[in-house]
Structure 1
Amino acid sequence: MILIASNPVGEDAMGGRALTICTDVPAAELRRLARREEDRAAAACMQAIAGALEGLSRAEAARLAGMERQAPRDAVVRYNAEGLAGLHDRPRPGRPARLDGAQKAALKQVVLDGPDVEATGLSAWTLAELCREIEQRWSVSYHPSRMGKLMHQLDLSWQKARPSHPKADAAAREAFAKGGCRPLSTRRERSTATSA
């Protein structure tokens, strides 16, 4: 066990008592784990604890890890209690999802299939119409802006069909798509043609 304190007396400048740090994982190993850690906050905590294990003061360990002075103390308390797992953020409670996984999958399929033109009179889904459809199917209400976020979570994006003129030449459109359009003539070619 190693003490973490700002001064050698055993108390920091705020009058707090020095903490002992569990030495199960050496400082070099903590630094190696911090370099490979995807969670930046947990990596900073590991760096601060490693600095304290190497003999740095709490303030210096916090500064080198890019943390506030109190954060290493909190990290040491969690590290001593839970080990490395205690340095990661805990799941935060929040509002449960309005639609469960099966309902979201069904909604995605409804959007991909498109509306039934004869039954709904719609040729394409709008966010407001999807809100009404969900209200009818599952008795869950959504605001259109929240529906847009839900569509994004389902990996669906807004796509609008390009208008097509009724008298458009399909063969010319296909040739243009393949890059077969005729190049524009340049001025030089026109001027030589008129002068000859």
Structure 2
Amino acid sequence: MRTDYSAVDLRRLAKVSKDANQSRRLLSLAAVLDGMNRQDAATIGGMDRQTLRDWVHRFNAAGPDGLKDAWWSGPEPRLSPAQKAELAEIVETGPDPAITGVVRWRRVDLQKVIKARFGVDYHERYVSTLLKELGFAHMSARPRHPAQDGEIVEAYKKTSRAR
């Protein structure tokens, strides 16, 4: 373990730290520097001996800042912002039946367009997530029978008498 920090230094850093997890880890390392066995020092920090070993390696590599939780943003998006804007334009303008062979966009159709245009293969269900991210909402037309007569429907509706 690093020798440029004493147990007193680690306890002082734990006291002023705003991160509770970092403070726990600093106190465990201070206990190790005081000569406590690793199992008991790990118990002080609420971890097991192997986890304490991992934190010692992080401390040796990066110092006290290495004991903070590291949160990463996740994987890079497969479509760039320019490609997403282009996809939004494609959805907004709608399909051309002569070229695409469809009269309205479905997820599976957009999945094929994304694969052909951008070379990115998304799952059909993720296309919905992508559309929602772009600000589109799922809309479906109310079903209407082709032989339905509007006059008959209006005559059938119940209306209350005027007072």
Bin the TM-score by the shorter chain. Answer: 0.5 to 0.7
1:70 aligns to what SS in structure 2? helix
Cα deviations by residue, 1:79-119 (Å, 9 ceiling, x for unpaired): 1321244234486997x6542232123223433x1513555
Could you tell me which amino acid in structure 2 is paired with residue 134 of structure 1? I
Q: Deviation of residue 22 (structure 1)?
A: 4.6
Matching of residues 64-75 of structure 1 within 5 Å? 64-75=44-55
Q: What TM-score results when the alignment is normalised by the length of structure 1?
A: 0.51
Greater helix share, structure number = 2
Q: Is the 8 A contact 1:21 1:80 kept in 2?
A: no
2:49 aligns to what SS in structure 1? coil
Unmatched tracts of structure 2, length 5 or more: 155-159
Could you tell me which amino acid in structure 2 is paired with residue 33 of structure 1? K
Residue of structure 1 in register with 2:95 after alignment: 116
Residue of structure 1 in register with 2:25 after alignment: 48
Q: Deviation of residue 159 (structure 1)?
A: 1.9
- Structure 2: how far apart are the matches of 1:144 and 1:126? 9
- Structure 2: how far apart are the matches of 1:136 and 1:116? 14
Q: Is the 8 A contact 1:134 1:141 kept in 2?
A: yes
1:140 aligns to what SS in structure 2? coil
Cα deviations by residue, 1:51-97 (Å, 9 ceiling, x for unpaired): 33255643233234332212122212221321244234486997x65
- Structure 1: how far apart are the matches of 2:25 and 2:87? 47
Equivalenced residues, count: 142
Matching of residues 30-45 of structure 1 within 5 Å? 30=14, 32-35=17-20, 43=21
Residue of structure 1 in register with 2:140 after alignment: 161
Q: Identity rate of aligned residues, in percent?
A: 25
